[in-house]
Structure 1
Amino acid sequence: MPVQLPAPEWPSELLEAGPPEDPFILLSGPARIGEAPYRVLAVRVNPNTLGVDYRYALGEDVYADYQLEDTFDELTFLDDIDKSVLVPIEHGHYVIWMLPSGDTGHD
């Protein structure tokens, strides 16, 4: 028997959340399911390697505080990621996921 899901509220846009030198490697926006706050996140992925799409000319230290590789590894552990799940957005191809945010949902 199906269970009714409260209507989700999705952001109409995502904001850059990466380091100042490459802000579009990570995007973020608030979402809600019923009264519960969530966060939509997107990481830029190289469609040829299916890995995080770093700008290597910037150096690893630029990305050190963002733990993008760890997060991406956890996502690929939970489910397979292939080209079919990449979403083309203005600054590249992204893998998008949603997490409970634990805040009020106000930015």
Structure 2
Amino acid sequence: MTNKTAWVLGATGLVGTQLVKELSNSKIYSGIHLLTRSEMKITDAKCIGHVVDFNNLSKYSDLFKVSDVFICLGTTIKKAKSKEAFRKVDYDYVIEAAKMAKTANVEK
């Protein structure tokens, strides 16, 4: 196992859930930070849950001290209920997270 750490945005969705399983089974990561809107049941000792307000993601810049960032965020227009809300999840949050990762000098 290495000392690499990962950060996963969108860990509760279809893709994010599968990614977390893969990362947990990997010997590459010693820690996996899961940023979610609500509390989630975590059974893997490598995983650390963080409930965040995605509208104020910059408040959590200290959480970006990781090796790699994975963004698995997405919604449907049906769930979002408006084009504006859909864009916020599928675009605005993703761009903000990417900027924060770049500022924190995340490797990948």
TM-score, structure 2 length as denominator? 0.28
Q: In terms of Rg, which structure is larger?
A: 1
Q: Which structure carries more strand by proportion?
A: 1
Q: Which has the higher helix share?
A: 2
